[in-house]
Amino acid sequence: MARSKLGARTPVVEAALGFALGAVGGCMLGATEDPVEKIMAVMTSEPQGLMKPMTDEINTVGALGLGTLVGATALTMAMTSVVAGVILAAAVASIFVATRSCIPSQTEYIGLWASAGLAGAFGTTLSGATLGAATEWIVMNSGMVGLLLALSIFTMLKPPLHFLLKIIWQQGEACCIQRPVALIRERQQKEIDAREMQQRERVAVQIEQRILMLDKGGTEYGTDDGTMWKAEQRLRTEIERERREKEEEEMEQRTIQEWINDVVLKHVDFLAFSGIPMTLLAIVTSVFGVLGYGGHQSVFIALLALVTVIAYILLKSTNFKFWMLAGCMGLLATFVIAVLTLHAGQEVVAASMKMRAAGQGRSREDVSAHMNYRSALEALSAGFFVAKMCQLGLGATVGGPLVRRGAGEAKVIVGAALVAGGLLAGVEALDPVLGNGGKAGALLGVVGAAGVSVGAAAALAGGWSSWLGTLGTITGLVVGALSMGRWHFVNIGLQVPVAYVFAMVNPF
């Protein structure tokens, strides 16, 4: 396992520091558990909430169709909100870097990461709340067929939006940012060139004067001449140093700007194409349900075949990209949600058959109603959980690369945790305004912000020079998450490995 040196520290110090920083990220992850579970309980218990249109229309789209539709919608919301936050953060960082005519100081670097982090977390939370409220409104007013139509339209609009965002980013960078900075740098370069030219002319004049003095029989070398030549040499050295520093500053700024551009372009690709496989899956299974084959075995066979074909095409691509990996994972998650939704309804049927054999028969209407309710409950619960895991993983893919790039592990871990904590308090305060859907989407955004802190802690664990530091960081992460998460071993046990895996992935 390759390890990068994080500083000349002893293994014990690494373990202590790693435990403290890991605990910060873990505590923020655990702090999101109770609010997420509470909003999920509210959404599934309200008789006139999201459960009603889902149970009413499960016979329309079928159990598999409901599962794929809910899963694809939840994952699309999670991915879109994260990309919105990343693009907003990148825009703030790009403006901050490009408008500096020199390398920012340490204080300015802290301001850079703080402003970008706040913008990203706020953008993710706000977009999550907006998408959650919009989804709730669509389901309550148009049902699952309306949700299928909205998801299909949104998926078709994303590729054109992909090209539009690229053009807007490139034009904004060229027109609003680079030109003023280029003028400043050009003026500074002209000043350095002018000083160098003046120094050369002055030295040339002094040499000519010295030659004339020698021709007239003057002294060969004097004290004033030696002092003068030393002063000119110092001035020449100073000009060369300024020119070298200016070139290094421009190279550093260009490197940072190129990295930011790469982040934006990769996430725009991710936004445009990663949701297509799971949306296609939802469309196919929902159409089967609308045609009256929602509970037929052929739908499951077609679903499995479609998942296999799409995953094979993506994985065999010669130019494999991060959005393809995310698309395959989303496809698999959607398939699992669909299977769980179908299985929940079958469990009700099996239970009713056992009751009938024992002489406790129930009416067909009661069994059908309970079957629809259990299927809808399983679809909503599984979809929400998968969306939370998606937000956490994508947040970790941001925090991990930031630490590896040298943004400062303590700054990223503690800063992201503080931002996530502030957002969590804000969401709780705005509970009456957001509504169930808006609050659920906003909380998913908070989970994404917490994922940045967890991903940074995971990257820190892999970067220590000793195994003791790695174990200390992982221990702090797990202990902090369990203690603040009220010892939810199953949830935390699934989330921490997912965050670690995504933090080690380099999507850029």
Secondary structure (DSSP) of 181-222: HHHHHHHHHHHHHHHHHHHHHHHHHHHHHHHHHHHTT--S--
Exposed / middle / buried, residue 252 (Cβ in 10 Å: 0-12, 13-18, 19+): middle
pLDDT of residue 387: 92
pLDDT of residue 208: 65
pLDDT of residue 107: 57
Query: To which residue do tokens 């965002």 refer?
Result: 165
Cα-based angle 434, 435, 436 (whole degrees, multiple of 5):
125
Tokens of 152: 């299909």
425/312 Cα distance (integer angstroms):
44
Tokens of 109: 């670097």
pTM of this structure: 0.81
pLDDT of residue 483: 87
Which residues neighbour 255 within 8 Å (Cβ) at sequence distance 6 or greater?
none
- DSSP H or E segment with residue 356: helix 322-357
**CA nearest 411: which of 349, 352, 453?**
453
**CA nearest 458: which of 415, 507, 398, 388?**
398
The three-class DSSP label of residue 58 is helix
Q: Which residues of the chain have pLDDT under 70?
A: 1-8, 46-48, 98-109, 171-196, 198-233, 236, 239, 243, 245, 247-250, 252-253, 294-297, 358-363, 407, 507-508
421-450, pLDDT tens digit by residue? Answer: 999 999 888 888 888 888 899 999 999 989
Torsion on CA atoms 83, 86, 91, 97, rounded to nearest 10: -150
Query: To which residue do tokens 């933090």 refer?
Result: 503
Tokens of 150: 């909205």
DSSP state of 393: H
459/416 Cα distance (integer angstroms):
14
pLDDT of residue 1: 37
432/507 Cα distance (integer angstroms):
38
Torsion on CA atoms 471, 475, 477, 479, rounded to nearest 10: 180
Exposed / middle / buried, residue 163 (Cβ in 10 Å: 0-12, 13-18, 19+): exposed
9-60, pLDDT tens digit by residue? Answer: 788 888 889 899 999 999 999 899 889 888 888 888 866 677 888 888 788 8
The three-class DSSP label of residue 361 is coil
Query: To which residue do tokens 């892999």 refer?
Result: 462
Based on its alpha-carbon atoms, the radius of gyration of the chain, rounded to whole angstroms, reads 30
Other C-beta atoms within 10 Å of 428: how many? 15
Tokens of 430: 């705005």
pLDDT of residue 447: 92
